[in-house]
């Protein structure tokens, strides 16, 4: 079956770095997406990886290892506004997205 696993909740301190992990099993693979979702709001796109390696976008970076079925989202210099849920989604061979349940990130001052 197809599955996405990510931690339910993480806590980090303002100014620090946090890594949110995601493992995936999909029928075929057409990329891995990360979305941010603030409470009561819509998900918004953060990153897309289809090749192995690290993609950096400002304070946020995303990593992919296709051989391990593994991705992580790295958030640096954490700010209070980064408190949100982070959704990992894998795209299968039919270009359908398989979604994880999301990781709720709590930032403490």
Partner 1 sequence: TAGITQAPTSQILAAGRSMTLRCTQDMRHNAMYWYRQDLGLGLRLIHYSNTAGTTGKGEVPDGYSVSRANTDDFPLTLASAVPSQTSVYFCASSDGDNSPLHFGNGTRLTVT
Residues at the site binding partner 1, with contacts judged by CB under 8 A: 4, 30-31, 33, 35, 41-45, 48, 50, 87, 89, 91, 95-102
- For residue 102, the minimal CB distance to partner 1 (Å) is 7
Q: How many CB atoms lie within 10 A of CB 35?
A: 20
- For residue 55, the minimal CB distance to partner 1 (Å) is 13
Question: Among residues 61 and 96, whose Cβ is nearest to partner 1?
Answer: 96
What is the C-alpha to C-alpha distance for residues 30 and 50, in angstroms, rounded to an integer?
6
Question: Among residues 41 and 56, whose Cβ is nearest to partner 1?
Answer: 41
Question: Among residues 25 and 30, whose Cβ is nearest to partner 1?
Answer: 30
- For residue 12, the minimal CB distance to partner 1 (Å) is 22
Question: Among residues 101 and 106, whose Cβ is nearest to partner 1?
Answer: 101
Residue 43 three-state SS: coil
- For residue 19, the minimal CB distance to partner 1 (Å) is 20
Residues whose CB is less than 8 angstroms from the CB of residue 74 and which lie 6 or more positions away in sequence, other chains included: 17, 18, 19, 20, 60, 61, 62, 63
């Amino acid at each position: 079956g197809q599955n996405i696993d990510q931690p339910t909740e993480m806590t980090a301190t303002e100014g620090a770095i946090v890594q949110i992990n995601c493992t995936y099993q999909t029928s075929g693979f057409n990329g891995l997406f990360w979305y941010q979702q603030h409470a009561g709001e819509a998900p918004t796109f953060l990153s897309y990886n289809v090749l192995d390696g690290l993609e950096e976008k400002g304070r946020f970076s995303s990593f992919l290892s296709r051989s391990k079925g593994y991705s992580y989202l790295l958030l640096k210099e954490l700010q209070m506004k980064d408190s949100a849920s982070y959704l990992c989604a894998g795209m299968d061979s039919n270009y359908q997205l398989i979604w994880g349940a999301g990781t709720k990130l709590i930032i403490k001052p």
